[in-house]
Amino acid sequence: MQAIHSPRFPRVLPVLALAVLAACNGRGAPGAGAGGDVLKLMQARNLSEQDVTAALKTYTPTGRHDEYYTFASGGHGGNLIVIGVPSMRILKYIGVFTPEPWQGYGYGDDSNAVIAQGFRGGQEITWADMHHPALSETGGEYDGKYIFVNDKCNPRVAVVDLSDFMTKQIVSSELIASEHGATFVTPDTDYVVETSQYPAPLGGVYAPIEQYDEKYRGAMIFWRFDRQKGRIVPEQSWAIELPPYMQDLADCGKKVSDGWVYCNSINTERAYGGVLEGKPPLESGATQNDMDYLHCIHWRAAEAVVKAGKTTTIAGMRVITLQTAIDENLLAFVPEPKSPHGVDVTPDGTGVVVGGKLDTHTTVFDTQKIAAQMKEKKYVGKDPYGVPILDFKGSIFGQCEIGLGPLHTVFDDKGYAYTSVFIETVVAKWSLKDLKVVDKIDTHFNIGHLVAAEGDTVSPDGKYLIAMNKWALDRFAPVGPLLPQNFQLIDISGPKMQLLYDMPLPLGEPHNAQMVKADKLKPIEVYKPVGTNPFTHAVDPHATIGGQQRIERKADGVHVYMTAVRSHFSPDIVRVKQGDTVHLHVTNVEQAKDATHGLAIGGQNINVSLEPGKHVNITFVAKKAGVFPFYCTEFCSALHLEMAGYLLVEPN
Amino acid sequence: MQAIHSPRFPRVLPVLALAVLAACNGRGAPGAGAGGDVLKLMQARNLSEQDVTAALKTYTPTGRHDEYYTFASGGHGGNLIVIGVPSMRILKYIGVFTPEPWQGYGYGDDSNAVIAQGFRGGQEITWADMHHPALSETGGEYDGKYIFVNDKCNPRVAVVDLSDFMTKQIVSSELIASEHGATFVTPDTDYVVETSQYPAPLGGVYAPIEQYDEKYRGAMIFWRFDRQKGRIVPEQSWAIELPPYMQDLADCGKKVSDGWVYCNSINTERAYGGVLEGKPPLESGATQNDMDYLHCIHWRAAEAVVKAGKTTTIAGMRVITLQTAIDENLLAFVPEPKSPHGVDVTPDGTGVVVGGKLDTHTTVFDTQKIAAQMKEKKYVGKDPYGVPILDFKGSIFGQCEIGLGPLHTVFDDKGYAYTSVFIETVVAKWSLKDLKVVDKIDTHFNIGHLVAAEGDTVSPDGKYLIAMNKWALDRFAPVGPLLPQNFQLIDISGPKMQLLYDMPLPLGEPHNAQMVKADKLKPIEVYKPVGTNPFTHAVDPHATIGGQQRIERKADGVHVYMTAVRSHFSPDIVRVKQGDTVHLHVTNVEQAKDATHGLAIGGQNINVSLEPGKHVNITFVAKKAGVFPFYCTEFCSALHLEMAGYLLVEPN
């Protein structure tokens, strides 16, 4: 350690300062002891001057709140991850598609119903592959009210309410069989965009793979969001049919390009593998062409076409067919190099930055040139499905030579773009004005998406950027063959980027994230009034307050009206007969912040979280006779262990 | 900010140093710029000198590994949390009782079978309330091989293998209906102790609550652990019947008290609530007595009694009845004040420290006095069930006046004990020699358990302590009504304790933890040889390597022998008929560290994690006809998105 360390010393201020201090002032000075501490710590922990700076830029003392929230998708963990910036502490995992018992999510009637909204084709689905969260926006700015997130594997979209950080709705359409370009919101959150990835026959029907060209298709769904209700309204939602390419990421236009959505694609070769059937694997079959197609869709014009009734209903979804989209001039393609992936609209809405996994530069498409050419129908050709194609050179602002494998791009407040470069495994900072790279910083390792403070809004903040690295390799103490991902916090406030912090992701593989100013969120502290059901935002009809606790046998079973308060449940003895259907109606009657109780019942697979004022309904059948203790699962008081009771199931 | 901040300045070394620097040396000196940075940062982020010290004691630069692992129970999240110390970064959540899709835990045949081992009475149980993890020990020292953890609600014990950080076994006995004093291991991990909490008729049968005194009982189970197999052997396990008090925490003797286990109890009043039936709630009914009973059990003598066949089998478990335990002099009680909770054996094994939730001091019981009196049968009375009682004063070393609500105690390397004091919400440091408090530090808020570096082994390390606080209140940026818990890292290397770090717990409510030196763990990096099944630690009979990929229709369904490698699956097209049972046998043939793939299949609720060399078997029925894309869910390469295929389910 010492050997490695020594060369750094001349660069270390506290050491130097102390030396000078000693040289010109023999007497011990106040603070010198502490200075000695700093020196000792730098030696003991082998910290460089840069390490000290990074530590002081990220350390957040007790009681101090983080400046930003980062909301990261949980990847195949099926939950949403809330991270404080700059401390990089995880503040919460929000259960979304995967049941999570600590929150009681998926262990009580109402949350079970939300998860069941996401079952497809009668199949229970208890996980998801979440990729791209999208905060609700007003005028292209995050408004801190809701966040949406997708499931790539079983195409679904979830609505998470940021007043209480709970998932309130899941929507799904059988129109498509998988997705990827989701979720992305229009600048006022009129729509949440969900775009298919792997083509399949629309509506979940079967067709042999040999009919791929004729019967397999893609689609982009526009889920209508009702801000007042805080819910997506499927009946008001619609979709556009797309050719059987693999539609990839999408982004909505803003400002001058408001009303548009841009989506890239891969596999215009329409390969579908078949390695045991004498065909090349998709990875080579799908990478033959030098160019694929950027999809440019005028969604506002499409909305009018839908209102005019020019749709076909498939699997309950109103669909603008590909032919109608062409006839109505809603869709055009622009060639994009090579195996494109990221597609990100600039803050002013004039540009769309596209990276190519096998390319060496980012291409900035010009939204206004595209719009003008489409208006004039100035097309240079058609794809095999008749979709008009725009001239590449006539549709771009320019290209930036950036390195091998540019993926995703975010923006700061000074006119710079930041692009993740996968194969080079760096973040490249470049000027949107002259398309020149001004700085690069190594990442560790295999960077995927990146996120900057408010970096995909109309007014990015700069300051912080997180590189979302897919591999950790040697970065952290080993935890077996399955390693965490590595989020690296980077300071982008100065001309040179500085690495501040390595953060392991302990659960799930986040793909994308959004970073929002903390003061934009105004979450509630307790549910008011007492008895509120978080899923209806109203006092539950079965809410129970002091004096009303009771047990009633009704036609549909035994109803238990229960209260929780430090440190007992009332009733605390529940007597039923084997085979009874039991309806528990439980209200936490407390209103003190953090006075959360839980209710767990042995043998019934039940645990619910009862935050202050919250009401929860639980239905179960007492199948087995016996004595089943129930108790509070959230440590609430000195006599928490005594907050217990018995479910007595008498045999028949 | 500035106003609050200024007064701190004179105490800040870098500032002072810079001032002196300037005073005696007009010229700019190397490093002065950086010194200016430190000063600016302290001002900008309002950091005190203490904050700077804390930051430098915890900040862990990129690529640097933490010195300790802390393994914390996930509370009602049902998973195990792995935390790096001193950085306090969460390195991994290990799925234990709750299915976790990122790890594929509960989404493939073998892991499903492990979770199913924990189902009770035919009831599927997909969560747990985990309280006390226990690392495997050799000679009273953590050996870094295994960790055990309990479920309080549905009494179960899980075995987690620290070679790959995966759960390999869950055991459960219908003998008891709930537990709390679990898991605790004997000094060589011969046994894993699990003790009931809320009394119930033994064996899961029904009895009216009015027969509580006669028919309700507690029990302590000794699960036999086979270190060679790495599994608990239920057939070699046994239990001791206990009176219907609420047995609480337990701890095993060590060194001079090896062969003993100590367990405290509450509710010797045998109250059981009944608030709607005219009875007092348990919280008051259970707190009438000034003394409850410390249970002292000579497990090594009990083991001999079991070997002699003096047991009764209940619910498949060999049980030493309470009467036999009395007759064989295996069990004695010592009175303990008041609403006792924590029970912790000192490193040298001579003392047992007990805290009382409604007490103001910790009591140190003398294991040797207890053993001697039991040997001489020097009893002062009997409880209502005939259990002999020892004299309180004759059984203790002494008491320490510590503050209101002492709970748990851990130890350092200098003869000090550290006790969490709930109502005062502090950690109290006191001397085991003279039972005097030497330091106290505030915690935020409602401290429960605490953990120190190797703090419950025969040779604690000192250095670090974590206060596991139940409430966070205002400590972190708000995340709705359900708040994280707060782990506070405390430096205990010096005479005064120093708070270093506040860490939010984003998922689950940990109760207890153990902190082990990182270099004691030697996890594997990849599965060798290729095709290894982690649950059998052998090459799976269905393991598939290059050239052997195939699809075979057999009597029991369609068998797909598949390989995964960057960037394709082989086969990548799977054709089956509606209603077919499909057996997927998938091997990741890679051996590069971190080259993990995932396999997700649309519509089937399937996602598995395929670490390098790992083999997974997945069985499902293709119920629905259609086209279902499958793909790699772990970002593996530039062409990861192209690592996909199709499951084609042809209709009948």
DSSP B448-479: EEEEEETTTSSS--EEEEEEEES--TTSS---
Selecting from B90, B283, B481 the residue whose C-beta is nearest the C-beta of A611 gives: B481
- Chain B residue with minimum CA distance to A442: B62
Provide the pLDDT for residue A88: 98
- Whose CA is closest to A600, among A625, A568, A623, A633? A633
B7 pLDDT above the threshold of 90: no
How close does chain B come to A400, measured CA to CA in Å? Answer: 20
Task: State pLDDT tens for residues B636-650.
Answer: 999 999 999 999 999
Secondary structure E strands in B227-259: 231-232, 238-242, 246-252
A214 interfaces chain B, CB cutoff of 8 Å: no
Provide the pLDDT for residue B38: 80
Enclosing H/E stretch for B325: helix B322-327
Residue A510 makes CB contacts below 8 A (sequence gap 6+) with A72, A73, A74, A75, A81, A468, A485, A487
Handedness of CA B371, B375, B378, B381 (dihedral sign): positive
* Cβ contact A351:A435 at 8 Å: no
Q: Do A91 and B506 touch (CB under 8 A)?
A: yes
pLDDT band at B37 (very low <50, low <70, confident <90, very high): confident
Selecting from B248, B481, B483 the residue whose C-beta is nearest the C-beta of A527 gives: B481
* Chain B residues touching A281 at Cβ < 8 A: 567-568, 570, 572, 642
Mean pLDDT of B494-500: 98
Provide the pLDDT for residue A36: 66
Which amino acid is residue A569, in one-letter code? F
* Chain B residues touching A549 at Cβ < 8 A: 276
Provide the pLDDT for residue B10: 32
| Residue A157: how many other CB atoms lie within 10 Å | 26
A144 interfaces chain B, CB cutoff of 8 Å: no
Selecting from A89, A405, A600 the residue whose C-beta is nearest the C-beta of B504 gives: A89
Provide the pLDDT for residue B36: 66
Phi, psi of B262 (to 5 degrees): -120, 135
What is the percent of chain A with per-residue pLDDT over 90, rounded to a whole number?
94
Residue A143: Cβ-neighbour burial (10 angstroms; 0-12, 13-18, 19+): middle
B81 pLDDT above the threshold of 60: yes
Lowest-pLDDT choice from A68-72, A447-451, B3-7, B38-42: B3-7
**3-state helix, strand and coil shares in percent for chain A, rounded to the nearest 5:** 15, 40, 40
B11 pLDDT above the threshold of 70: no
| Residue A191: how many other CB atoms lie within 10 Å | 23
- Rounded distance, CA B157 to CA B189, Å? 14
A619 pLDDT above the threshold of 70: yes
- Rounded distance, CA B610 to CA B591, Å? 11
- Whose CA is closest to B470, among A635, A62, A101? A635
* Chain B residues touching A218 at Cβ < 8 A: none
Provide the pLDDT for residue B369: 98
* Chain A residues touching B502 at Cβ < 8 A: 60-63
Provide the pLDDT for residue A30: 33
Q: Do A127 and B101 touch (CB under 8 A)?
A: yes
- Whose CA is closest to A156, among A196, A204, A110? A196
A315 interfaces chain B, CB cutoff of 8 Å: no
Widest pairwise Cα distance in chain A: 92
Cα–Cα distances (Å) from B416 to A160, B250, B348, B438, B495, in that order, read: 48, 21, 12, 9, 10
Provide the pLDDT for residue A38: 81
Provide the pLDDT for residue B29: 34
Phi, psi of B384 (to 5 degrees): -60, -15
Residue B260: Cβ-neighbour burial (10 angstroms; 0-12, 13-18, 19+): buried
Task: State pLDDT tens for residues B473-492.
Answer: 999 999 999 999 999 999 99
Provide the pLDDT for residue A37: 78
Mean pLDDT of B193-213: 98
B628 interfaces chain A, CB cutoff of 8 Å: yes
| Residue B63: how many other CB atoms lie within 10 Å | 11
Superfamily of domain A68-271+278-520: YVTN repeat-like/Quinoprotein amine dehydrogenase (2.130.10.10)
Provide the pLDDT for residue B39: 85
Residue A544 is classified by DSSP as: -
Provide the pLDDT for residue B23: 33
Mean pLDDT of A516-529: 98
B461 pLDDT above the threshold of 90: yes
Q: In what order do the strands lie in the sheet with A606-610?
A: A573-577, A644-650, A626-631, A597-601, A606-610
Peptide bond into A457 cis (omega under 30): no
Q: Do A38 and B13 touch (CB under 8 A)?
A: yes
A145 interfaces chain B, CB cutoff of 8 Å: no
Mean pLDDT of A63-79: 98
Q: SS3 for A392?
A: coil
The alpha carbon of residue B112 and the mean position of all alpha carbons in its chain are separated, in whole angstroms, by: 21
B388 interfaces chain A, CB cutoff of 8 Å: no
Task: State pLDDT tens for residues A264-284.
Answer: 999 999 999 999 999 999 999
B627 interfaces chain A, CB cutoff of 8 Å: yes
B2 pLDDT above the threshold of 80: no
* Token reading at A96: 């979304």
Provide the pLDDT for residue B509: 96
Residue A68 is classified by DSSP as: E
Enclosing H/E stretch for B69: strand B68-73
pLDDT band at B8 (very low <50, low <70, confident <90, very high): very low
Provide the pLDDT for residue A321: 98
Selecting from B266, B422, B650 the residue whose C-beta is nearest the C-beta of A206 gives: B650
pLDDT band at B27 (very low <50, low <70, confident <90, very high): very low
* Chain B residues touching A544 at Cβ < 8 A: none
pLDDT band at B437 (very low <50, low <70, confident <90, very high): very high
- Rounded distance, CA B304 to CA B314, Å? 19
Provide the pLDDT for residue A101: 98
Question: Distance between the two ends of chain B, CA-based, in angstroms?
Answer: 72
Q: Do B24 and A29 touch (CB under 8 A)?
A: no
* Token reading at A34: 């502490």
Task: State pLDDT tens for residues B235-274.
Answer: 999 999 999 999 999 999 999 999 999 999 999 999 999 9
**Domain ranges for chain A:** 14-58, 68-271+278-520, 532-650
- Rounded distance, CA A437 to CA A482, Å? 35
- In this structure, the strands spanning B238-242 and B317-320 are parallel
Q: Do B478 and A521 touch (CB under 8 A)?
A: yes
Provide the pLDDT for residue B622: 98
* Token reading at B12: 């800040």
* Token reading at B170: 């869950």
Radius of gyration of chain B (CA): 28
Provide the pLDDT for residue B33: 42
* DSSP-assigned states of every residue in A209-234: GGGHHHH-BEEEEEEEEETTTTEE-G
How close does chain B come to A373, measured CA to CA in Å? Answer: 32
- Whose CA is closest to B127, among B84, B166, B164, B74? B74
Mean pLDDT of A522-547: 97
Mean pLDDT of A334-352: 96
A68-271+278-520 and A532-650 share one fold: no
Mean pLDDT of A339-343: 94
Task: State pLDDT tens for residues B125-182.
Answer: 999 999 999 999 999 999 999 999 999 999 999 999 999 999 999 999 999 999 999 9
Task: State pLDDT tens for residues A214-259.
Answer: 999 999 999 999 999 999 999 999 999 999 999 999 999 999 999 9
Domain spanning A532-650 has what CATH number? 2.60.40.420
B12 pLDDT above the threshold of 80: no
A58 interfaces chain B, CB cutoff of 8 Å: yes
Task: Indicate the average pLDDT of chain A.
Answer: 94
Size of interface A-B (CB pairs under 8 A): 611
Comparison of pLDDT for B194 and A19, the residue scoring more = B194
Provide the pLDDT for residue A93: 98
A72 interfaces chain B, CB cutoff of 8 Å: no
Selecting from B52, B98, B626 the residue whose C-beta is nearest the C-beta of A38 gives: B52
* Token reading at B305: 């009694």
Q: SS3 for B306?
A: helix
Cα–Cα distances (Å) from B107 to A20, A180, B518, B620, B646, in that order, read: 64, 22, 30, 10, 19
Enclosing H/E stretch for B193: strand B191-196
